[in-house]
Structure 1
């Protein structure tokens, strides 16, 4: 026999003695003991009287194990789930968690720093436009041929003021003095160095002519325009980044508002360049 149900099935009311309960109990106990320990309450109830079967099963030495109860998955509420059809509260929470702060991604302060650097370089370039007043920095960009190499003049000579309108250039190696003189004369600064001692030169700084002033004014304008071009290049790069950006919760209105911030900074920088160029132009023209 394969299981206790089959064995128990041979016991019917015809086999039982209604007047001798003890004998009936012994019979059922014997059958159950010979079977596998998997007889169930349902089978016993269908083959023998309910009360008798219960008593027999309770008295049986074979352990009786209840059949495991089947569990059913609880249906989730789609409206409150966090899936595709999540509730309004969950959707709002997800949207807030994924929202992008454009002011962090596109830092207008960093762009302003870039523009300020371009303006600073412009002003530094103008410092080399000299108008009759001597300054040691006038010769910073003069390049000298020295030992088969080209080096800045300050690396091979000491430059100082002899007076308000004259520079003094001291060359430690007197054999190199001639090369320094040639470099200053051909620098395009309209300077005419003259020997002072064996290893020094004096360099008079002439008063600017009207022609020189006009030339310097044009150079001021050119440097200013080049700087504005660099500023516009920075602007174009940032605006392109903003337009191409795709972030959660970022609308076209958000992008437009950010672009306006950047445009305002660029506009301010352009105005600053124009104002500085106007002041410098008046200076070189002697107005």
Structure 2
């Protein structure tokens, strides 16, 4: 693998982390319910962790209500517990295989909670980007150690990786700031 391939791979993986953040932030709706809101919720099912969308159908019957139709009724309690423990401030109501999730009116306190959730998502994305940077730099150092590139080429490639990292971190910060501003708007 050449240094250019490594830098392309780093860029692609960092873009993936930013895209994942965009997807998670899209689920944080301020005014109405969104099926994406439950996307990050993980359920213990069949001996492994799965997302709610992998074990149930999520629909939005009303602007302030989510309906979760669990495919296997034996998982209904686990899904209900996962939603309650997700940190999203939701209180699901189980009715057999159907779980109703009322979306509470956004009070000032609730808006702050949602802002903290957005910040947490942003921090996870920043950690992912930094991990990708570390992996890329390790691969570049290995190329230099194996005498495939010179120290100058290593330094230049490392600078390019750092530039890409800085761009993605700024992009993440901007996305989170915009979402927090949207959440805090009354």
State the TM-score, normalized to the length of structure 1. Answer: 0.49
Kindly indicate whether structure 1 or structure 2 has the higher relative contact order, using CA contacts under 8 Å at least 6 residues apart.
Answer: 2
Match of residue 253 from structure 1: 152
Q: 1:163 aligns with which of 62, 72, 84?
A: 62
Would you say how many aligned residue pairs link Structure 1 and Structure 2?
183
CA contact (8 A) 1:170 1:199 kept: yes
* Bigger shift: residues 125-134 or 261-270: 125-134
Match of residue 107 from structure 2: 209
CA contact (8 A) 1:191 1:204 kept: yes
Match of residue 221 from structure 1: 119
3-state SS in 2 of match to 1:159:
strand
- Between the aligned partners of 1:152 and 1:206, the Cα distance in structure 2 is 22
State the superposition RMSD in angstroms: 4.0
Q: 1:123 aligns with which of 22, 42, 46?
A: 22
Unmatched 5+ residue regions in structure 1?
1-100
Structure 1 residue 112 and structure 2 residue 11: aligned?
yes
Match of residue 30 from structure 1: none
- Between the aligned partners of 2:158 and 2:71, the Cα distance in structure 1 is 58
State the TM-score, normalized to the length of structure 2. Answer: 0.70
- Between the aligned partners of 1:230 and 1:172, the Cα distance in structure 2 is 32
1:57-206 to 2 correspondences below 5 Å: 103-104=3-4, 107-140=6-39, 141=41, 143=43, 154=53, 158-170=57-69, 179=77, 183=81, 186-187=84-85, 188-193=87-92, 200=98, 202-206=100-104
Q: CA deviation at 1:276?
A: 1.1
Unmatched 5+ residue regions in structure 2?
none
Q: 1:278 to 1:185 in 2, by over 3 A?
A: closer
CA contact (8 A) 1:184 1:192 kept: no
Q: 1:208 to 1:144 in 2, by over 3 A?
A: farther
Q: 1:155 to 1:237 in 2, by over 3 A?
A: closer
Higher strand share: 2
Q: Looking at CA atoms only, which structure, 1 or 2, has the larger radius of gyration?
A: 1
1:220-260 Cα offsets, whole Å, 9 max, x none, are: 22322232233223223333443451466854333322222
Q: CA deviation at 1:150?
A: 8.4
Higher helix share: 2
